[in-house]
Structure 1
Amino acid sequence: MTPSSDTLLDGTHTVLTPEYVEFRFTLAGVYSRFLAWLLDALIVGFTTMVVLLVFQVGMAAFPGFASALGIVVYFLVDWGYGIALETAWAGQTVGKRVMSLRVIQESGVRIGFYHAALRNLARVVDRLPLLYLVGGSVALASRSHQRLGDLLAGTIVVRERHLKVPSALETRGEEGLLADPLFVSRVKRLSTEERELVLSAALRREELRLEARLTLFSALGARLQDSLAMEKPAHLSDEKWTLLVAAALLPAPGARPGRPASGPRSTSPGPRSPSTTSAYPR
């Protein structure tokens, strides 16, 4: 696989899965992170100003208290903004979303409240003495472009890849299994970690060498049979089985955003093939 220009400029972070398959993430550069922070800082500053205006009448008689309250409100908004959005948006703020950046754990999975809180509370040190001089210097010296908050929380900032769903996920010929309510309901009960693993493997499988690809999908196929408590149909390969699970996780064509899908619609009329009507529960 030929490295892209952004990969060469920003560097990569490699994650080795338990199946010994490598996933590579393009690290965000200091410049793109600074632009994202600048946009977030403008939002935080504007929000702080609005909050202070609400208390303007009460603070007018106490100018000293007003200054102290302004500092407190700014830090509360600054911390709350970063922690709340990075937790709710899986590692993104408005600035990061605009710049297509995302905070993830070093292991390659999404961050939670604990990681978001640690990296944002550490901004007090990172922004010293001015404009993130400490954090920027540490990020430049770090191989993974991590500021102090990232080192403390075990996180990295990566460029988000906009991957299109491959045509292979259309899973033509297997509409009967995708329309099986039992199969779809069990797929929907997969854990967040399992969903991310299945979708990531399905979307990035073309990047893997043949041996690694076979090893990965063999392990995933066995794990999914255990998680779903269903036997894989004999005519399906491990990769095809995993792709069917991935297809069941994706919204149906024409489904409204935010509403659960009942499975992809059939692309061809007529009776179902007996061999694809369902997977058999154990």
Structure 2
Amino acid sequence: MNAEQLDIKTPEYVSLQFQSAGLGSRAAAFIIDQIILLIVNILIIIGLLFMINGTFMDFFSADMPSYLIAGAIILIFIIRWAYFFAFEYFSGGSTLGKKMVGIRVIQENGHSITLLSSLLRNLLRIIDSLPMNYLVGMLMIFFHSKHKRLGDLVAGTIVVHERRKKKMKLTPIEKEIQKRGLSRENLVLNDYDLRRFNEKDWKLMKTYSNRFLQLSVDDRILLTRQVAEIVSPKLGMPVEDKGYEELENLLLVLYLLLKDEWEFEL
């Protein structure tokens, strides 16, 4: 079933367009993830055998205690579940397999997947995998209008193809940022750090960037100091010892990072 166009209206009344990921792309990503997990499982078993016998040559003759076998099975199960949960939440909705295929998980409202949603959709993998080889999940993905499995329905998520960003004409503030030689790489924030910033923070940074070039130097210094004091706790860095130009650069780069997260293409 081919990927279909989805129109999503966010709580901020922004219209987003995505292509839902069908059974083919999701299956390809899942196979890649299973290969990665298989390699990890094999390494765990090899490591366990080395711990018991000191050599891999006793693979077939190893008299492994039942509690170690049970422990290994539990560890493998935890790793398999944590792999999907952790990658989807901390890597913007993509496991390694999804990244390679070019798909990711998002909320139905177009925002990044939440901790609870990632938890729910991956707990329900157990049901989606029934009775064998993900038959329930595959059937639901194939027949559902938005290609959802049970985990997606309960968690309120959807798997979509990554959108290619269109080249757009630079705005005045983006020209100023470019003129200063700034880029997103000047401020390293992982997905967890970015989740500290909410819609209110984005609106603050957007207002700051819109007024930045319109203010006099004195007013801009004052505004920069005020905004920096508001966002600095989430950045985890003090602002008292920084000069105004350094603060300006910091806030402008933060604006770029939050823009990627909160401003969507119409």
Instruction: Please give the range of the TM-score, normalised by the shorter of the 2 chains.
Output: 0.5 to 0.7
1:156 pairs, out of 155, 158, 167, with 158
Quote the offset at 1:176 in angstroms.
8.4
TM-score by length of 2: 0.63
Aligned position for 2:27: 34
Quote the offset at 1:44 in angstroms.
0.7
Deviation readout 1:209-246 (Å, 9 max, x if unpaired):
xxxxxxxxxxx7x9943xx49857679xxxxxxxxxxx
Does the 8 Å contact 2:7/2:18 carry over to 1?
yes
- Using the TM superposition, name which of 71-80 and 41-50 deviates more: 71-80
Task: Name the structure, 1 or 2, with higher relative contact order (CA <8 Å, separation 6+).
Answer: 2
1:131 pairs, out of 125, 130, 133, with 133
Query: Does 2:45 correspond to 1:43?
Result: no
Deviation readout 1:241-265 (Å, 9 max, x if unpaired):
xxxxxxxxxxxxxxxxxxxx6558x
Question: C-alpha distance in 2, partners of 1:28/1:170?
Answer: 33
Query: Following superposition of structure 1 onto structure 2, how do residues 154-193 of structure 1 map, counting pairs within 5 Å?
Result: 154-166=156-168, 168-169=169-170, 171=172, 175=176, 192-193=197-198
Q: CA RMSD in A?
A: 3.9
Quote the offset at 1:71 in angstroms.
2.9
Which amino acid in the other structure matches residue 29 of structure 2?
A: A
Does the 8 Å contact 1:45/1:74 carry over to 2?
no
- Using the TM superposition, name which of 69-78 and 95-104 deviates more: 69-78
Which amino acid in the other structure matches residue 10 of structure 2?
A: T
1:74 pairs, out of 73, 76, 79, with 76
Query: Following superposition of structure 1 onto structure 2, how do residues 109-148 of structure 1 map, counting pairs within 5 Å?
Result: 109-148=111-150
Does the 8 Å contact 1:126/1:133 carry over to 2?
yes
Question: C-alpha distance in 1, partners of 2:115/2:134?
Answer: 23
Does the 8 Å contact 1:90/1:112 carry over to 2?
no
- Long gaps (5+) in structure 2: 54-61, 183-188, 216-248, 254-266
Question: C-alpha distance in 1, partners of 2:24/2:142?
Answer: 11
1:124 counterpart SS class: helix
1:58 pairs, out of 52, 55, 61, with 52
Does the 8 Å contact 1:48/1:73 carry over to 2?
no
- Long gaps (5+) in structure 1: 1-7, 182-187, 199-219, 236-260, 265-282
* Aligned-residue identity in percent: 32
Quote the offset at 1:22 in angstroms.
2.1
Aligned position for 1:9: 2
Which amino acid in the other structure matches residue 162 of structure 2?
A: E
TM-score by length of 1: 0.59
Which amino acid in the other structure matches residue 89 of structure 2?
A: T
2:2 counterpart SS class: helix
Q: 1:193 to 1:10 in 2, by over 3 A?
A: farther
Quote the offset at 1:103 in angstroms.
0.2
Aligned position for 1:22: 15
